[in-house]
Amino acid sequence: MNVTVYDSAQAFDALKPEWNDLVSRSNADCIFSTWEWQSVWWRSYQPGSLWVFACRDGSGRLVGLAPWFIHDQSDGTRVVSPVGGREVTDYLDIIVDREQSEAVVECLVNYIAAQADCFDRIELCNLPENSAGYRLLPAAFERHGFVATIEHEDVCPIIELPQTWDEYLASLDKKQRHEIRRKLRRAQGANESLEWHIVESGRAIEAKINVFLGLMAASSPEKSRFLADQKNEAFFRAMIPVVQQAGWLQLAFLTVGGEAVAAYLNFDYGNRILVYNSGLMQEEYGHLSPGIVLLSHLIQHAIQTHHVVFDFLQGDEPYKYRMGARDTHVYNLIVRRDR
């Protein structure tokens, strides 16, 4: 195997024809690993100098990618982090062919060890519990004289979807099952103009983005502050059309009299629905429980369309567990040179 290093944004152009094919052959097969997500994130933030490692086997086939960058901290420490970042990307990993994962990881780490003078620390965040990075990188780095530390980062609650809505309701405890049914009946009975819909694929999306971001900012002071950062808003505005064009967008709204009162920005990827962000007009319409009503419709839709997992992504908010989710975990890997 051999390794090529890319240190400019041309890496995305050069690797685009092969990138997603490798993603599909890896355990990192997730929207956050795709060329679309990674390239849009880099164009939006550019927080350092790209450092992308591409590993090829003897036939020249791409079998490994480590899309990373180097940035300087205030104390001058040079830190390597993954493209995608901690704040807006819930799962991150190296992208390696699952049939050659151990050989690829050894090849990558061997090459990176030879570049040890270029950095002081590697910080890989949001590694899923079943990822190649979590399973293989710590031992590989330690074999090359580094100190590798694993830290628990967060939980990602998921629902493993049954075949029918009735089976799903039956899997909940009695109180929550009653609450969902009650809220759905109350919302529909309280206002006959209450409707929900998923934005159709291919439809002009700009106006819908504005509505969603308005609801998102209205949801909480934290989300409002997040969108006040121009780079964060620019990322959302750039990312959503790209995801839609790729066929992975599920942007859903609950409306009352035609006015959007709740929204979910989800991703439909790999037979999974990933709940990425939401927006809500709580003060005026809280009595209708619009967030839970829309969420319930989306879970039912996911079951009807034969998805197998409903993934709430990072965070242990209580509503996720009330909807029947169970925890999966993501980790951080910290790698330091053993001085």
237: number of CA atoms within 13 Å, CB side?
Answer: 15
- pLDDT tens digits for range 95-112: 999 999 999 999 999 999
* Nearest-angstrom CA–CA distance, 123 and 285: 42
- pLDDT tens digits for range 257-287: 889 999 999 999 999 999 999 999 877 777 8
- pLDDT tens digits for range 144-161: 999 999 999 999 999 999
- pLDDT tens digits for range 23-81: 999 999 999 999 999 999 999 999 999 999 999 999 999 999 999 999 999 999 999 99
Long-range Cβ contacts of 179-188 (<8 Å, 24+ apart):
179/322, 180/292, 180/296, 180/323, 183/289, 183/292, 183/293, 183/296, 184/293, 184/296, 186/288, 186/289, 187/288, 187/289, 187/290, 187/293
> Backbone dihedral region of 167: left (phi > 0), alpha (psi from -120 to 50 degrees) or beta?
alpha
Q: Looking at 82-91, 178-187, 221-230, which range is the least confident one?
A: 178-187
- pLDDT tens digits for range 109-122: 999 999 999 999 99
How many Cβ atoms from other residues are within 10 Å of residue 115's Cβ? Answer: 13
- 3-state SS of 198-233 is ECCCCCCCHHHHHHHHHHHHHHCHHHHHHHHCHHHH
How many Cβ atoms from other residues are within 10 Å of residue 60's Cβ? Answer: 8
Which residue ranges form the domains of the chain, and what is each CATH number? 2-155+330-337 (3.40.630.30), 158-311 (3.40.630.30)
